[in-house]
Structure 1
């Protein structure tokens, strides 16, 4: 409504002109526009809220890959503000810009991309592995506006996948190792069976021929030689297996004492010379320093050298040569075993000390292939080392042992040399021995050996029978097996030591056992025995031990 005053010529008001306008339609239009504006603002707020509340980093780019919008998660991912990100190239915020740019092109080409992995790099250098899902978007006229992308942090998932992959690879490696170990074990037992059965076959065959009584004197001697040699081989094989078991369990120990290296080596050479002569192999010992002494286990040092020389004999043909040299090298003594045998290839050289199943050279020449590994371990237990060298196949091999000279000569000269000490060489000369052995065959052969050596023997099969015998006779020495029925050898010696000396309580005693570890020996000595001998029995060693103990009384 509008009002206008009407005036006359003297400018006086003579009336009013009233004009009314209907604004209803305009007001309705304005009200509707306001509602539309509010709905648009509400929609924009709602859309923004959705974008900001999303757990993924969201962004839009134009078709050239320039960022046009982002949410808070994208800011957190890059360490940049929204204003800094808008207008910047998408590829700038990833460790591999070329791959990032290729991702935008891929979306534009295929309209959609899922699980496209990139590594985002924040301003502070932090890296985050993300998986992108992206699609193109358009205006209402279907004109391309750009790319909408959502990036989800998959760093932990990738770490888990990597850890799972590594675990699977380790499991596969362990499975492969286990399979190889199983195959090696199967091969080992196959060869072990061969190494046990073949000598037994020879021994059994000769025993049956001997039993027939039709062998000539020469063949009888040959039969006894074969049986004795194979018995020694079987004993050595069992001892090697026990040593490997002790090494694996970490319980192999040394009985250390001052010893003369040359004396120990000479003993080994003399023991192996008949075998070398039989193969027509020249076995030479060269001693540059015979006075070198070490703090060592004489038996184990002899085992080291024996294993090396035996190995050399195995691979050296007839008319070949094996040289054993002893020399002092500064603060160490060096024992070198060289042969003119088959030699070792460079690839086999790396495995020559490994147990059976890994080195073809061993399998082709028989045996279990345990000796060199045992020798190296024994050398290392002495604080030394064992190494192998060869110029290749057909050029022989050289094994070098180095042992530390931990004992000064002035002090060592006063100490007995374990390797050089030998027992009495005469027989038992009527010395009385009480033998306690439950196995009838073993008891009979021990009795015959001791009687053949000039001894007097009283034999018993049980502890009760042995204690009863002590009430009737007074032997010079007791010789008892440890594995006896009902009451074992330990019970026997405890019962003996509980007796009054006048009733035999102080009679010296020797234990016979198939268990020859240091711990076993210590237990035997602690129980009351004076000596411990391993089966099979070496008669000269047994006789020497009996004479030594009997003469102490």
Structure 2
């Protein structure tokens, strides 16, 4: 009958027991070792026989597990395990693993004598004699309950913080890497800026800035200021995904790690458009008394000549020439009065939130023609003309035609009013990305620098009310700005100074599907060009974004190319042998099979031996280009792809040699 471990000397206390197959310890060293093990109280250190029964027990084991030496020796170590662990025979599995591997480490719940549980780190080491025969196990257990509790508290705190950030809807909270690329995105950012997380991560934050700010280097300057000062705050116009603009309060904070290395930037953006509008209205109300005085002056001015004309007609009822002259005067003054009243009513609707836009597809040419026609009497009266400049072609937009005509007519009338007779009012139009820019420039008296920021305020005029020979209520430009902002755009004034004329610039977002005839024809072959000269290619277009794929395919086909579309990687592999493409345009970020997997798999597909592969991606850093080159792509194009760049790439890749 085999002797039970508690009937023999404990392993840790037997001076002749080999130490894991090593030589016998001298008596003094063995005593020192046993004293050391016995004195340790932060670790439970004990041994098991081959079957898992406890054969030695130190003070640390008694303190952590609650058993005295005499009541635990000889008992199976599964006493320390939870019932579910025992039920799935986990203790036996641990011993088996330790015996096979020499050592086994685990973390999990263990049970004290009083039934309470603690989180333990456990190391089991197989003990062997000089001949390599298994003679038992050494077991070291450490109570990590407090550490786990702290880690769990930290995890819950971080999770709570994450949920808090994610749940905030009134603020856009997101992180940038040191280069300004977006690495995180909360629901508030999606709500305010319009981008989903999957379509914005990795893109540069400068796409939120208007074109003029990008041209002036404002995004890079903000990063540099935040890096040097630690934090900056800014207010200004920002751009949503749909091209509309909003007034934003932005805080940019540099984030450093413990070694003071820059990890990136935390960015907080709040849409302050409503607050800005309210503040302006509050400032406007402070000028109400001044406005009422101006209104009285402006209403009395046309009424006085009307009364005089009526009196003259009454005194000379038979004078036909006088009657015609008086009627013309009355008509001009009534028209002026009507315009004043209309402006007042529109401002009232806007300030009370009752104005609604009736948007519909409309062409810019029509809006300009109607605006100039409405201003024609004032222009003709001063022998002025309008010069319209802009690239040929039709610019289509979604807008309230009546309101935009009103805006541009006001700007032309304003330019006429403050310019000398015989001068030219210039209207210049341009399109940058998805923004329409309209500039109305006059040769008039100009605007002083201190007045540029205030002229769009309600009831503000550069001259003191009642002293300006040109008259006016000071609400026309404020009305223009309100109507432009309701369309998601902006309006700004510039002037080189008094006497040097003025320019008013209106910027309006264009719909994503807008296509200028000019840009359209630029992408197509010239009229009469032989399709044979185009070197028609068979093109396989792989993109999971159906709208992007369909629209690009349409343009390629209009240029004479034969295009096959695949909306995912698997479909691309299926159709490639049939279409035998000269060029494969492959989106990189696709679900399931990404672009890198597609190009690797397509190398072995029949019919693609001569195919040239082009990566389409939103990432354009040098490392991204190196990655696509290493994957076997022949070219790397960054979305959105300029058509000229795309066509030149196709032509280059298909050149002989």
Query: What is the TM-score of this pair, normalised by structure 2?
Result: 0.34
Query: What is the TM-score of this pair, normalised by structure 1?
Result: 0.40
Larger relative contact order (CA 8 Å, sep ≥ 6): 1
Of the two, which has the highest radius of gyration?
1
